[in-house]
Amino acid sequence: MNLVRAIYPGSFDPLTNGHLDLIERGSKIFEELVVAILRNSEKDPLFTLEERRDMLEQMVRKYGNVRVDTFDGLLVEYAMRQNAKAVLRGIRAISDYEFELQMALMNRKLQPQLETVFMMPAEAYSYLSSRLVKEVFRLGGSVRGLVPELVEQRLTEKVHGISAKEK
Ligand code: PNS
């Protein structure tokens, strides 16, 4: 039997319901899904790596075949070390396609044995991104329904410096 382990890589700063939607879809297709957080992103993250990992771990606990890990360096090399055959990426709109195609083809050039699989999140999340969540939240807008409750609490603590209970 051809068991496929896939890597779902990203920054997850923070995890959104769009990411979770994709994780759920991926967990149904692949035998094992490794959600891999990039360690040394050039972006200046809002949440530390440990905070992001903690949130993800809590949210994927319910799936028996999903685990969380971190990685550094080339994605294709990490994927090979993990014995993964596929990389999972989400495509929300046509605008994502160009960059995702570029990455997928570069990764294929670097490692032809690794396939990139694209999945579409539910259309309700098609406009959602971690960047917009951070921006809207910082400016006082509501992100309810766009991120898990846990992430909303952590955003409150991080951005407003108070725990959700004190609010
Ligand atoms: O959530 P993001 O920021 O869209 O994820 C981007 C990510 C982590 C998938 C991408 O930056 C990546 O794979 N980085 C690892 C370094 C690498 O392999 N670069 C070459 C990609 S073609």
**19 catalytic per annotation:** yes
The answer to whether position 141 is within a domain reads no
The answer to whether position 18 is within a domain reads yes
Q: What pLDDT, in 10s, does the model give residues 88-136? A: 999 999 989 999 999 999 999 999 999 999 999 999 999 999 999 999 9
Question: What is the rounded CA–CA span in Å between residue 125 and residue 165?
Answer: 28
- What is the span of the domain harbouring residue 118? 5-126
> How many structural domains does the chain have?
1
Question: What is the rounded CA–CA span in Å between residue 72 and residue 94?
Answer: 28
> CB–CB of 82/49 below 8 Å?
no
52, 92, 134, 154: the active-site residue? 92
For residue 164, pLDDT over 70 is answered with: no
CA–CA–CA angle 159, 161, 163 (5° rounding): 110
Question: Who has greater pLDDT, 163 or 19?
Answer: 19
For ligand 1, residues with CB inside 6 Å are 9-11, 38, 74-75, 103, 106-107
**92 catalytic per annotation:** yes
| Token pair listed for 147 | 């991120």
Dist. CA 47 → ligand 1 center (Å): 18
Which residues share a beta bridge with 35?
A: 8, 68
**89: domain CATH number?**
3.40.50.620
